[in-house]
Amino acid sequence: MNSEMTLGQLLSPWVDLTKQDIEQQPVTHLELDSRKVTAGDTFVAVKGHQVDGRQYIEAAIKQGASSVIAQACEQHAHGDIVSTSTASVIYLNDLDTYLSRLASRLYSMKPKALIGVTGTNGKTTITQLIAQWIGLLGESAAVMGTTGNGFLANLKPALNTTGSAIEIQQTLNQLAVDGADYAALEISSHGLVQGRVSALAFNVGVFTNLSRDHLDYHGTMKEYGEAKKTLFTQHQCKTAVINIDDSVGAQWCDELPNSIGVSLSTANDSDNRVYATGVQYSESGISLSFSGQFGDGTFTAPLIGEFNASNLLLALTTLLSLGFDKQSLIETAPKISPVLGRMELFKNLQQAKVVVDYAHTPDALEKALMALKVHCSGKLWAIFGCGGDRDTGKRPMMAKIAETHADKIILTDDNPRSESPELIVSDMLAGLDFAEKAHVEHNRYQALCYALSQADNQDIILLAGKGHEDYQVMANETVHYSDRESAQQLLGIEL
């Protein structure tokens, strides 16, 4: 479903087009990529972080763009209009900073409540837990993030965790048209810094944790943390649900007046706290008792590991803050399904268990291994790699974490991209005290084959780094590969 406004209406906050020939020009679709422009679209040309869209104005017009909104420059000042025989180009100052607001004016329909989830780890799990739980209570919820956008039964692939400012508004508009009452969005630090969600009003913002990631982009942990914090300080966020077991979260919770602190360990008499009073872990799931702002309760859910207890408590608190009935949430919790590629257990009785997880940061790998130790009566194996063209500093850190918490280590390839896989593994080996004990197998499928051939049926093998992904990015190509499919195939589980 296309939205429609006139160019004059769309741009009225920034420029007055009354008495201009183009004032009544209809706008039905905004497009940032000139290659995707079709007849009648409005091309939006901004100076991006890597590409200057203004270089493609001519190409977009040839593709059929009926109008172009472009970022002002030295040649073209704010308010300048340059017309060709088929299209007009309107130049505006600082267009890159208010794309979200511009798109929000055209794509004005939204689900009735938006939930934004930020943090290093847990965003996908929490958004999907929230959407599942809402669905179990009879309302309609969608997600936007790493594993795709849309309703859980029919996710459409997403290129980035947080899409462009225009894509986000288009998607939310379509979700509302399709009947979504709620939408839970993963909000990346990149998305916050680049203003991609700046015009959205979040009913609840959730903070999961902060640990090393994306330092190739942010430079320092301080800047990375400050980027995450802007969801609560510079964006519209009615209620902040904060994990206070994380030291950064604990500090933010004290600073934010609209916060609810969530903890697995800290009983607190403050009015704005939800905390666990008891947690039990088993291979079949988690049983969690809680107390605090919304009263007491106990529920069970079929997820594995301590960090998933935290994820569940954050999701529960979010839904309670939105007004959902506590007893209904407790009664439906056992029906929640594990999230695809997030501590996902594959097993048959004859072989070692395989757990597929997306852990690709030092903190996430450590938490995954520590969570599995509780369940493991044999040896704990870790198969993992590190991505190429990304933060190299975390490679030896991740290897050291695996050496500390796992009994057996296999170093393999993640997404090498343009880097040498051998160089990446060399960086990882440098973090080990006993490098000779690590097994290196660059092919992920063969790495799991080797582990299963050496492990016994009491062992658990953590296959970490790719989770739900069904591809591997090499130097010159992206190939089909899935850890989940490998586990199913090698354990003889029906695909």
pLDDT digits (tens, 9 = 90+) for 36-66: 999 999 999 999 878 999 999 999 999 999 9
Assigned token pair, 333: 């919790």
> How much is the average pLDDT of 169-191?
95
Please say if the pLDDT value at position 420 is more than 60: yes
Residue list, annotated binding site for meso-2,6-diaminopimelate: 390, 414-417, 465, 469
Percent of the chain with pLDDT strictly greater than 90: 81
pLDDT for res 218: 44
Check whether residue 272 and residue 420 sit in a common domain: no
How many domains are there within the chain? 3
Contact indicator for 100, 110 with CB cutoff of 8 Å: no
Cβ burial, residue 64 (10 Å; 0-12/13-18/19+)? middle
Contact indicator for 288, 279 with CB cutoff of 8 Å: yes
> How much is the average pLDDT of 175-187?
97
Please tell me whether residue 3 adopts helix, strand or coil conformation. coil
Check whether residue 59 and residue 179 sit in a common domain: no
- Least Cα distance to 121 among 487, 478, 464, 427 occurs for 464
Sheet strands (E) in 256-339:
259-263, 273-282, 285-292, 297-301
- Least Cα distance to 387 among 209, 222, 216 occurs for 216
> How much is the average pLDDT of 133-146?
96
pLDDT for res 142: 98
Check whether residue 263 and residue 123 sit in a common domain: yes
Contact indicator for 416, 388 with CB cutoff of 8 Å: yes
Please say if the pLDDT value at position 489 is more than 90: yes
pLDDT band at 120 (very low <50, low <70, confident <90, very high): confident
Check whether residue 230 and residue 359 sit in a common domain: no
Residue list, annotated binding site: 32, 34, 49-51, 119-125, 160-162, 188, 194, 196, 390, 414-417, 465, 469
Last residue of a domain, one of 335, 368, 395: 335
CATH number for the domain harbouring residue 38: 3.40.1390.10
Please say if the pLDDT value at position 355 is more than 50: yes
In this structure, is residue 495 part of a structural domain?
A: no
- Least Cα distance to 264 among 231, 311, 226 occurs for 311
Check whether residue 381 and residue 448 sit in a common domain: yes
Mean pLDDT of the chain: 93
pLDDT band at 494 (very low <50, low <70, confident <90, very high): confident
Check whether residue 22 and residue 123 sit in a common domain: no
CATH number for the domain harbouring residue 214: 3.40.1190.10
pLDDT band at 252 (very low <50, low <70, confident <90, very high): very high
In this structure, is residue 461 part of a structural domain?
A: yes
pLDDT for res 147: 87
Check whether residue 154 and residue 23 sit in a common domain: no
Check whether residue 149 and residue 297 sit in a common domain: yes
CATH number for the domain harbouring residue 446: 3.90.190.20
> How much is the average pLDDT of 472-489?
96
Last residue of a domain, one of 78, 98, 118: 98
pLDDT band at 4 (very low <50, low <70, confident <90, very high): confident
What phi and psi, each to the nearest 5 degrees, are found at residue 40?
90, -10
Check whether residue 326 and residue 352 sit in a common domain: no
Check whether residue 124 and residue 264 sit in a common domain: yes
pLDDT for res 269: 64
Please tell me whether residue 233 adopts helix, strand or coil conformation. helix
pLDDT band at 221 (very low <50, low <70, confident <90, very high): confident
Please say if the pLDDT value at position 268 is more than 70: no
Assigned token pair, 58: 């001519």
> How much is the average pLDDT of 466-492?
96
Spatial CB neighbours of 43, under 8 Å, sequence gap ≥ 6: 31, 32, 34, 37, 53, 56, 57, 60, 61, 65, 67, 68, 69
Check whether residue 47 and residue 153 sit in a common domain: no
In this structure, is residue 70 part of a structural domain?
A: yes
Please tell me whether residue 294 adopts helix, strand or coil conformation. coil
| Model pLDDT for residues 358-404, shown as the tens digit of each residue | 999 898 899 999 999 988 899 999 999 999 999 899 999 999 999 99
pLDDT for res 214: 46
In this structure, is residue 226 part of a structural domain?
A: yes
Spatial CB neighbours of 179, under 8 Å, sequence gap ≥ 6: 140
| Model pLDDT for residues 107-118, shown as the tens digit of each residue | 999 999 999 999
In this structure, is residue 251 part of a structural domain?
A: yes
Check whether residue 287 and residue 138 sit in a common domain: yes
In this structure, is residue 312 part of a structural domain?
A: yes
In this structure, is residue 467 part of a structural domain?
A: yes
pLDDT for res 386: 97
pLDDT band at 482 (very low <50, low <70, confident <90, very high): very high
Domain enclosing residue 470, as ranges = 344-490
In this structure, is residue 280 part of a structural domain?
A: yes
Last residue of a domain, one of 65, 98, 131: 98
Calpha distance 163→143 (Å, rounded): 12
pLDDT band at 219 (very low <50, low <70, confident <90, very high): low
Please say if the pLDDT value at position 495 is more than 70: no
Spatial CB neighbours of 236, under 8 Å, sequence gap ≥ 6: 200, 201, 202
pLDDT band at 2 (very low <50, low <70, confident <90, very high): low
